Chain A
Amino acid sequence: MTSPPPPAMPTTNALEVRALTRTYGEGAGAVAALAGVDLAFPRGTFTAVMGPSGSGKSTFLTLAAGLEPPTSGRVLIDGEDVTEWDEEARTRLRRERVGFVFQAFHLMPYLTAAENVELPVRLAGRRRDKARVADLLKHVGLADRAGNLPAALSGGQQQRVAIARALVTDPAVILADEPTGALDSRTAGSVLALLRACVDALGQTVVMVTHDPVAAAFADTVVFLVDGRLAGRMDRPTAAAVAGQVARLDELVPHAAVTV
């Protein structure tokens, strides 16, 4: 008699990846952008993913969001394995369980702030909730800008609209790709404080890819990627400690050696 397999452990991880691998190209020219990464992001935490260019940060985000399937490994969102889902299911996943914040804001230029926020709900074919949209805009400090088109908003304001949009479906996890890359340092600080508040006040989970040690210092934890592999983690990071670690990691990268 063999004992029945143990029931799947209930997980509190909003996002989890196991042995995540993504290879681009085939044969001898194949490049592993991500080579077996294990990471778990518990609910209600703020994690920064850092690494030099080519370390696999963006690939990680692409796979976690279900934009592409991994070459091997698993992606779990809210404990549910979404790796094998087809394109349509992954589209639903993106608009219902994942919130996005991009470096370039990615607002639709012909929709007002409020209409941009409600767009994921619209795309899902659900009835829009005017009160919730108004609430979220108030939460990001733009209650009086609901009727403005993106062209009439500053960069920081546009990114706040994008954060409200990411929150509108109450997703399992918010994925942020260099959310402050296009902002000046003061505006960047207020946008990062807003992401921090999403975690502290709303209990959201935020995973942010960044190369900026100051941005990373807003997170609870920083994980470092080098050459598609995990290269360490740091809890309660400070900008100085992160900057030092990044400098050391840069030395680890073999192809970073300068040849003249």
Chain B
Amino acid sequence: MGGYTTRLALRSLRHRLTAFTATFVAVLLGTAVIGSFTTLVETATGPISSADAETLTIMGAVVGGWGALIVLFSVASTVGITVTQRDAEIGLLRTIGATARQARRLVRAETLAVCLAASVAGALVASVTGRALLAAVESGGLIDHADYGGGTVSLGITVGGVLLVCLAAAAIAGRRATRGPASVTPGEERADAGRMRWWRVAGAVVLIAYGVSMAIVTVTVTKNSDDPYEAMATSGSNAILVGVGLALLAPVLLRWGSFALRPVLGRRSAEAHLARYNTFRRAHLLAGVLGPVIVLTSSAVGTLMAVGTDGRTLPAGASDDGDTITLLNNVVVGMLSLFAAIMVINAFAAAIAHRRTELRRLWLLGATPVQVERSIVAEAAIVAAVGVALGLVASLATIVPFGIARGEGVVPDGQLWLPPLLVAGVVVLTLGAARGAVRRVARPEPARSA
């Protein structure tokens, strides 16, 4: 039976290559980035000075660790979306006799096949970019000298680790797809749709509480440390942690946010009217977009502002790790932003594709194609506004304590132009993703039946 589900999985894959594109891209990029840095760790085991070895190992460990977490999130999100889109098909499989376990195995086999191809391709990319990275690190003066020693061991471990992460993501998605009873008609709205699972709330509370308490520790304890980087160690990732915590609460926060935005949304326009009720009553549909928007904003604004403060206030000669730390910060932010952007685009495309019949229904009832498009863009605007606001709040968990610790106070002394710029970028990305998605789907082609 296992062989059969695998064959079924491969055929199913061929049918929905585009749906798996996002997973493929996320895993490919993730493996390439993580792999480039793990080759540094393998290089560090070679014949080089112990200071250089330490620098390379730290770089590899930090980026590898963050990378694994990010890949887990984005693969879980993209696989989850492709699986949810097929709840009717999976329900049908189970109706004709597939057990929940077989359905889960199907999801797992599909995901593994995509991840295997993508991570091997990513490892090939990393074998080239890893050399380039080492050269850059050396010419940048972060290390004295090292001969490239990366290869099959580090890349093999990377591919293995990424595949484990993919398995975990597939398990999450498969469980979600087979949670309910078997049915061919999943219905438009399940009664429990949008209800938050307890572990989501618990995870959010833990992350936010941890981020906030580390911020307090920064202001009260590490501020007084002799090592200027202790304050960064306790505040640097707070924005990301609080952002991820808020992202876990996205369905509830979107509902509240949409409610709070009521006065801003025009009372007259039908598009704003529809968008308002859709984001309020079906927040779970767009929560998958809101999450990455929050994390994108909070991590980019929080980390880049902290890097700016660091550059202005670092006592001369206090530490020779400054360049490494700035590089690591930038790499992690770049990675996070890249994946969050992929997730925003993919989640929007999925959310809209899922609503194809609903949008067609609006058109049947007399909405013009422009009205349909505008109502979706209005939804995106609500998501962007709520996400950016929450992301900025989360970014304060890094900016404020680090600024206080480095003597700049609550408001940083420079780079105040950066947050508006980043916010504008996030808003443009969100609206663009929505517009692209609805353009692809909602052009009403004359269909045969009314």
Chain A residues within 8 Å of B, Cβ to Cβ: 24, 33, 58-59, 61-62, 65, 67-68, 87-88, 91-92, 94-96, 100, 102, 106, 108-111, 115, 119-120, 122-125, 149-151, 165, 175, 177
Distance of A119 Cα from B273 Cα, bound (Å)? 10
Q: Contact partner of A62 among B280, B282, B450, CB < 8 A?
A: B450
Most chain-B Cβ atoms within 10 A of its Cβ — which of A108, A123, A151?
A123
For residue B262, CB closer than 8 A to chain A, the reply is no
Distance of A119 Cα from B365 Cα, bound (Å)? 8
Chain B residues within 8 Å of A, Cβ to Cβ: 188-189, 191, 268-270, 273-274, 277-278, 280-282, 358, 361-369, 371, 446-450
Residues of B with C-beta under 8 A to A33: 448
Closest chain-A Cβ to B371's Cβ sits at a distance in Å of: 6
Q: Contact partner of A100 among B274, B277, B365, B447, CB < 8 A?
A: B365
Residues of A with C-beta under 8 A to B280: 110
Residue of A nearest to B279 (CB): A110
Residues of B with C-beta under 8 A to A92: 366
- Is A67's CB under 8 angstroms from B446's CB? yes
Q: Contact partner of A24 among B278, B366, B448, CB < 8 A?
A: B448
Residue of B nearest to A116 (CB): B365
- Is A94's CB under 8 angstroms from B270's CB? no
Q: Contact partner of B270 among A62, A123, A149, A175, CB < 8 A?
A: A123
Take A62-B450, A95-B366 as given contacts and tell me if A109 and B273 are in contact as well, using a CB distance cutoff of 8 Å.
no
10 closest A-B pairs by beta carbon, nearest first, are A95-B366, A151-B189, A122-B270, A110-B281, A94-B366, A58-B449, A68-B446, A62-B450, A106-B361, A61-B450
Residue of A nearest to B367 (CB): A123
- Is B281's CB under 8 angstroms from A149's CB? yes
- Is A108's CB under 8 angstroms from B362's CB? yes
Q: Contact partner of B448 among A59, A88, A94, A110, CB < 8 A?
A: A59
Distance of A123 Cα from B375 Cα, bound (Å)? 11
Residue of B nearest to A63 (CB): B450
Residue of B nearest to A67 (CB): B450
Distance of A198 Cα from B363 Cα, bound (Å)? 25
Take A110-B277, A150-B188, A151-B188 as given contacts and tell me if A62 and B366 are in contact as well, using a CB distance cutoff of 8 Å.
no
Distance of A175 Cα from B277 Cα, bound (Å)? 28
- Is B364's CB under 8 angstroms from A100's CB? yes
Closest chain-B Cβ to A53's Cβ sits at a distance in Å of: 11
Take A65-B450, A115-B277, A122-B273 as given contacts and tell me if A108 and B366 are in contact as well, using a CB distance cutoff of 8 Å.
no
Q: Contact partner of A123 among B277, B278, B371, CB < 8 A?
A: B371
Distance of A67 Cα from B364 Cα, bound (Å)? 8
Closest chain-A Cβ to B358's Cβ sits at a distance in Å of: 7
- Is B364's CB under 8 angstroms from A88's CB? no
- Is A109's CB under 8 angstroms from B365's CB? no
Distance of A150 Cα from B368 Cα, bound (Å)? 23
Most chain-B Cβ atoms within 10 A of its Cβ — which of A87, A110, A122, A150?
A110
- Is B366's CB under 8 angstroms from A124's CB? yes
Residue of A nearest to B188 (CB): A109
Residues of A with C-beta under 8 A to B269: 125
- Is B282's CB under 8 angstroms from A109's CB? yes
Distance of A115 Cα from B281 Cα, bound (Å)? 13
Q: Contact partner of A96 among B273, B366, B450, CB < 8 A?
A: B366
Take A58-B448, A91-B366, A123-B371 as given contacts and tell me if A109 and B358 are in contact as well, using a CB distance cutoff of 8 Å.
yes
Give me 8 other A-B pairs in contact (C-beta within 8 A), A110-B280, A177-B450 excluded: A33-B448, A67-B446, A94-B365, A96-B366, A100-B450, A106-B361, A109-B282, A149-B281
Residues of B with C-beta under 8 A to A115: 277
Residues of B with C-beta under 8 A to A96: 366
Q: Contact partner of A120 among B365, B447, B450, CB < 8 A?
A: B365
Distance of A65 Cα from B444 Cα, bound (Å)? 15
- Is B188's CB under 8 angstroms from A88's CB? no
Residues of B with C-beta under 8 A to A68: 446
- Is A102's CB under 8 angstroms from B450's CB? yes
- Is A106's CB under 8 angstroms from B449's CB? no
- Is A120's CB under 8 angstroms from B446's CB? no
Take A109-B188, A110-B277, A151-B189 as given contacts and tell me if A91 and B367 are in contact as well, using a CB distance cutoff of 8 Å.
yes
- Is A109's CB under 8 angstroms from B189's CB? yes
Residues of B with C-beta under 8 A to A102: 364, 450
Residue of A nearest to B368 (CB): A91
Closest chain-A Cβ to B424's Cβ sits at a distance in Å of: 30
Residues of A with C-beta under 8 A to B358: 108-109
- Is A110's CB under 8 angstroms from B282's CB? yes
Residues of A with C-beta under 8 A to B270: 119, 122-123, 125
Closest chain-A Cβ to B285's Cβ sits at a distance in Å of: 9
Please, could you name 17 A-B residue pairs with CB atoms under 8 Å apart, sorted by A?
A59-B448, A67-B447, A91-B363, A94-B364, A96-B366, A100-B365, A100-B450, A106-B364, A106-B365, A108-B361, A109-B189, A109-B358, A119-B270, A122-B270, A123-B371, A149-B189, A151-B188
- Is B188's CB under 8 angstroms from A120's CB? no
Residues of A with C-beta under 8 A to B268: 125
Closest chain-A Cβ to B122's Cβ sits at a distance in Å of: 40
Residues of B with C-beta under 8 A to A120: 365-366
Closest chain-B Cβ to A142's Cβ sits at a distance in Å of: 19
Take A110-B282, A123-B270 as given contacts and tell me if A151 and B368 are in contact as well, using a CB distance cutoff of 8 Å.
no
- Is B364's CB under 8 angstroms from A151's CB? no
Residues of A with C-beta under 8 A to B366: 91-92, 94-96, 120, 123-124
Distance of A216 Cα from B324 Cα, bound (Å)? 80
Residues of A with C-beta under 8 A to B188: 109, 150-151
Distance of A124 Cα from B371 Cα, bound (Å)? 10
Most chain-A Cβ atoms within 10 A of its Cβ — which of B274, B280, B362, B450?
B450
Distance of A152 Cα from B164 Cα, bound (Å)? 42
Residues of A with C-beta under 8 A to B189: 109, 149-151
Distance of A110 Cα from B194 Cα, bound (Å)? 13
Residues of A with C-beta under 8 A to B277: 110-111, 115
Residues of B with C-beta under 8 A to A177: 449-450
Distance of A109 Cα from B189 Cα, bound (Å)? 7
Residues of A with C-beta under 8 A to B273: 122
- Is A175's CB under 8 angstroms from B448's CB? no
